[in-house]
Structure 1
């Protein structure tokens, strides 16, 4: 699965960005460039899905693609798919056509949700058999606190909790027709009172895949669970163990700009107040526009907006240099980038 994600990302970037951009995308680097690129190249689903990925492991995976002749480098040094790579991606696309990643939405929720779920299952199964002295497999204070708070509910019946947990898992897996391989990897990772779950390295050995593949399989299942948790009327446990993150998926600096911007301050005023360049504030507004609706009329009239939109439709491109060359000189790069952002539906 990890190889498929890499090939998919390389194809999407169209040899216009370096491979480092993919590493930053997968690890969820909160930079204006990475966030904007994830939207520009329609890769938001993969943003932050592998926050623990090490650069050396990423480089090894890329080297493997080179050795298999799946990717080649152009004169500018940017990677692109070879004919063999295109064919392999097409084949793998059939296997992974129903992935559930929604990285830009769930990247901050996924790790704590998985940790809390694993610890809740271990704790509940041990309490059910009256074993109150066990070593938690999750050494995470936040997850431990979440589980303690959940179990403090009045009139909580452990047998009913276990029934509901099983029901949530069964419903999530069957309704969405999750492949058997994904179900087995996830359930083998779970620890109960009777059995210790397998680590990602152990799972990789058992299923003859890389540890990166295992991580992606697990995160894919978790993102599905988080997506399903939006329906509290259908699930009894999932919706109540989510560590809600309400912040916009933008950089902290852009968020600071947004607070001033939403109060009606101009770009110039915000730049002066924050001691930043106006171009930096403009980048923040573009970043915000991908995640939240902004008042674009503060930055251009309807005529300019329509002109940019018409050229984008005719050329079917979002490349800035091409668009700028085809538009009237008075239309700025900022206005073009803002329209591109506005064309994306806010998450």
Structure 2
């Protein structure tokens, strides 16, 4: 989960334990490194084991968590489950655009691009202003929009984000360099940076009218549903008018797997209709029960609506943002 392996199980677990924001928090982390971190926390008495692979914070750990919550308040903006899959593409477009615009304004064309990915370069070229006057206008707009996002973060996190940007006669700092400068762990630096980036992506996705400049750069990434690769293929087949039976046969899927896909799609695709699987009347009943009880476990729903399947209940919870919506039917 912390490395960002996007499977039905990891999606379910991240929601089940209410830690969606930390999904993919440490991409590339080895399992041994994770285990060593847990052992270190136990040794320092910040955590204790209840049983094998099950830990809780000690009072000492709780105190540290409370004392650090203010300093690391920016991490509340993390949303790894939603944005981990697009954060790299978004950042690459932004940082290359800023570098190109900055060098252009200084009349400097002989520089080494910080990003060499062809698709990113093409994206930046497609929106890059043609004239000097347009470039000045866009630079001012970009400054205003970025400032609006950064002002919602603590000064340390905001400055880290700015220091990662490249410009005229300047190459953005690496995480390792920033770690040394700030005297903080590289993990903290990465999380602070990603929190600002996720906040920026969220603004563009939900407040695009207020961020037209940034939306022109990365809006296309935010508009694509954040689905697993397998669910994405199912969604594509559904949009091509393939029936569930056809999808199951062509892809050799079990019904439980296909149901997991449909629940995932219902959660991520706002206008995905679920009426083919549950009628409006039953949908409203389950929705009302969820609103009234704020229940997040599936069993109470099944007890209240025994005639409905777990799949139908999960679909409604997915549409309503139910915490366990992507969990298995079993």
Q: Aligning the two structures, in what range does the TM-score lie when normalised by the shorter sequence? A: 0.7 to 0.9
Alpha-carbon RMSD: 3.6
Structure 2 gap segments, 5+ residues each: 326-330
Normalised to the residue count of structure 2, the TM-score between the two structures is: 0.78
Looking at structure 2, the residues matched to 165 and 180 of structure 1 have their Cα atoms a distance apart, in angstroms, of: 19
Residue 99 of structure 2 corresponds to: 122
Of 297-306 and 333-342, more deviation after overlay is shown by 297-306
Task: Within 5 Å, give how 1:127-146 maps onto structure 2.
Answer: 127-146=104-123
Tell me if 1:298 matches 2:261: no
Looking at structure 1, the residues matched to 240 and 118 of structure 2 have their Cα atoms a distance apart, in angstroms, of: 37
Count of aligned pairs: 318
CA contact (8 A) 1:39 1:344 kept: no
SS at match of 1:341: helix
Among 227, 248, 252, the residue aligned to 2:229: 252
After superposition, give the CA deviation of every residue in 1:71-103 in whole Å (9 maximum; x if it has no partner): 222225323323332332233333334522233
After superposition, give the CA deviation of every residue in 1:124-163 in whole Å (9 maximum; x if it has no partner): 2222333221222334333333333333545654333333
Task: Within 5 Å, give how 1:225-240 maps onto structure 2.
Answer: 225-230=200-205, 231-235=207-211, 237-240=213-216
Among 46, 54, 67, the residue aligned to 1:78: 54
Among 196, 215, 218, the residue aligned to 1:221: 196
Looking at structure 2, the residues matched to 297 and 190 of structure 1 have their Cα atoms a distance apart, in angstroms, of: 48
CA contact (8 A) 1:35 1:250 kept: no
Task: Within 5 Å, give how 1:11-26 maps onto structure 2.
Answer: 22-23=1-2
CA contact (8 A) 1:165 1:236 kept: no
Looking at structure 1, the residues matched to 215 and 280 of structure 2 have their Cα atoms a distance apart, in angstroms, of: 43
Looking at structure 2, the residues matched to 307 and 52 of structure 1 have their Cα atoms a distance apart, in angstroms, of: 40
Structure 1 gap segments, 5+ residues each: 1-21
After superposition, give the CA deviation of every residue in 1:169-213 in whole Å (9 maximum; x if it has no partner): 223223x2x211112212222222233322110101111112111
Q: Relative to structure 1, is the Cα distance of residues 145 and 261 closer, same or farther in structure 2, using a 3 angstrom cutoff?
A: closer
Looking at structure 1, the residues matched to 219 and 32 of structure 2 have their Cα atoms a distance apart, in angstroms, of: 30
Q: Relative to structure 1, is the Cα distance of residues 115 and 61 closer, same or farther in structure 2, using a 3 angstrom cutoff?
A: farther
Looking at structure 2, the residues matched to 59 and 161 of structure 1 have their Cα atoms a distance apart, in angstroms, of: 47
Task: Within 5 Å, give how 1:244-323 maps onto structure 2.
Answer: 244-245=220-221, 246-261=223-238, 267-268=244-245, 270-292=247-269, 293-295=272-274, 298-299=277-278, 306=285, 316-318=295-297, 323=300
Q: Relative to structure 1, is the Cα distance of residues 192 and 63 closer, same or farther in structure 2, using a 3 angstrom cutoff?
A: farther
Task: Within 5 Å, give how 1:165-184 maps onto structure 2.
Answer: 165-174=142-151, 176=152, 178-184=153-159
Tell me if 1:93 matches 2:69: yes
Of 296-305 and 214-223, more deviation after overlay is shown by 296-305
Normalised to the residue count of structure 1, the TM-score between the two structures is: 0.74
Q: Relative to structure 1, is the Cα distance of residues 109 and 284 closer, same or farther in structure 2, using a 3 angstrom cutoff?
A: closer
Looking at structure 1, the residues matched to 286 and 165 of structure 2 have their Cα atoms a distance apart, in angstroms, of: 55
Among 174, 178, 183, the residue aligned to 1:208: 183
SS at match of 2:101: helix
Q: Relative to structure 1, is the Cα distance of residues 70 and 325 closer, same or farther in structure 2, using a 3 angstrom cutoff?
A: farther
Q: Relative to structure 1, is the Cα distance of residues 328 and 222 closer, same or farther in structure 2, using a 3 angstrom cutoff?
A: closer
